[in-house]
Amino acid sequence: MQDTQKKLPLLITTGEPAGIGMDVVLLLAAEGKLQDFKRPIWVTADSKAMQMRADELVTAGVLDVCPPWQTMDINTEADDFLAQLSQQTINSDDAFILLNSPCAAPVVCGQIDINNSAMVAKQLAVAHQLASNKTVAAIVTGPLQKSALIDAGIKLLDGTMFSGHTEFFMQQSGCAKVVMMLANQAMKVALVTTHLALKDVPAAITAGNVRQTVQIVIDDMREKFGLTQPRILVCGLNPHAGEGGHLGVEEIEIINPVLQEFIDAGVDISEAMPADTLFTPRHLANCDAVIAMYHDQGLPVLKSHGFGDTVNLTLGLPYIRTSVDHGTALDLAGRGGASATSLYQALLMANEMADKSLASFSVGNDL
């Protein structure tokens, strides 16, 4: 394996500066846990706000001392910026490299200022650029406040209002579709549909949508998890997977015909299964990933097996992106009480995927 300095970094975006994004980075840095990944760790944030947050956590008794870090200014031309980063190393006593992204207004814990929303969006643009250029191994996103970006008039590439990390990275990467997956030690669950009203889900279960979702899951399980023959179980839409058409026909008319295409192609994938029996230890023991038809079909089960340890992944991007599975927790910022567990798990997942993705790429080149 490469040593720490030769491995590509993991990049953390801290998101909304008034929330706990900076807090959880500082907590891991103070505990020495950022060294666990044997890679450089880069963090995007306002350097003054980061120093102030560290001082506030020391004053609150959350940190004993302020952990050390290096700071780099990212207000440079892109080519020069990338050249500087490629030569940067972390001193042995430094926890991370801070890529300084200045805020327009002073940061106050727990108080959102939409004047700083442009800085939050810039973090994401920098992360996309560095991941696309293979300067970093993966992006790990901290929580942002979507309402603040919307109120500030921040828009996606297609001109629509800002709707989240997933849509931002999807459009920046030119992807027609990406897949949300949540993962913890118990299971990995990908979704055909995400944030839709339940009444709108059946219309979104089309052959094309199911086919694209399955293909993206297969591709990323192979390329980013290093599984040459992933074992996938698929939930039906209706109770009892439609009960032979008595409780719905989507399984017969849409879902199973698509799944049969993959089965015929040699993929280890099930036909549509009743969700109430799929999520049992007997089935999960022989499964690498589950595909659920809608948000509350799969995620409540997954989160009941490890809410604090759950990681949000975006499959289908040309790079690795993981995320914490919590919000900005404005009431905890700078005061203590925030948990860094989700960030640590997101870093672990990103690191493991980066290692497996590199191994898969090397194997592929040898064939």
**3 state SS for 75-122:** CCCHHHHHHHHHHCCCCCCCCCEEEECCCCCCCECCECCHHHHHHHHH
pTM of the model: 0.89
**E strand or H helix that includes residue 179:** strand 179-183
Share of the chain above pLDDT 90, in %: 83
Examine the pLDDT at 79 and tell me if it is beyond 60: no
The average pLDDT across 322-334 equals 94
Cross-strand partners of 10: 41, 138
What radius of gyration, in Å, describes the C-alpha atoms of the chain? Answer: 21
- Please tell me the total number of residues recorded for the chain in this structure: 367
Least confident of 67-81, 115-129, 134-148: 67-81
Examine the pLDDT at 366 and tell me if it is beyond 90: no
CB neighbour list of residue 89: distance below 8 Å, 6 or more residues apart: 5, 40
CA separation for the pair 237, 275 (Å, rounded): 8
Longest dimension (CA), the chain: 65
Examine the pLDDT at 1 and tell me if it is beyond 60: no
Give the model confidence (pLDDT) of 241-293 as tens digits. Answer: 999 999 999 999 999 999 999 999 999 999 999 999 999 999 999 899 999 99
CA separation for the pair 146, 19 (Å, rounded): 12
User: What are the start-end ranges of the H helices in the chain?
Assistant: 21-30, 47-59, 78-87, 117-132, 146-151, 165-173, 201-204, 207-223, 250, 256-264, 275-278, 281-284, 295-304, 341-366
Q: How high is the mean pLDDT of the chain?
A: 91
Helix (H, G, I), strand (E, B) or coil at 306: coil
- Grade residue 357 by pLDDT with cuts at 50, 70 and 90: confident
For residue 321, what are its two tokens?
């992106």
Examine the pLDDT at 94 and tell me if it is beyond 90: no
Examine the pLDDT at 77 and tell me if it is beyond 70: no
Q: How far is CA 77 from CA 36, 43, 74, 80, in A?
A: 32, 19, 8, 5
Quote the pLDDT of residue 254. 98
- Grade residue 89 by pLDDT with cuts at 50, 70 and 90: low
User: What are the start-end ranges of the H helices in 288-335?
Assistant: 295-304
- Grade residue 113 by pLDDT with cuts at 50, 70 and 90: very high
CA separation for the pair 33, 84 (Å, rounded): 26
Least confident of 39-48, 86-95, 119-128, 233-242: 86-95
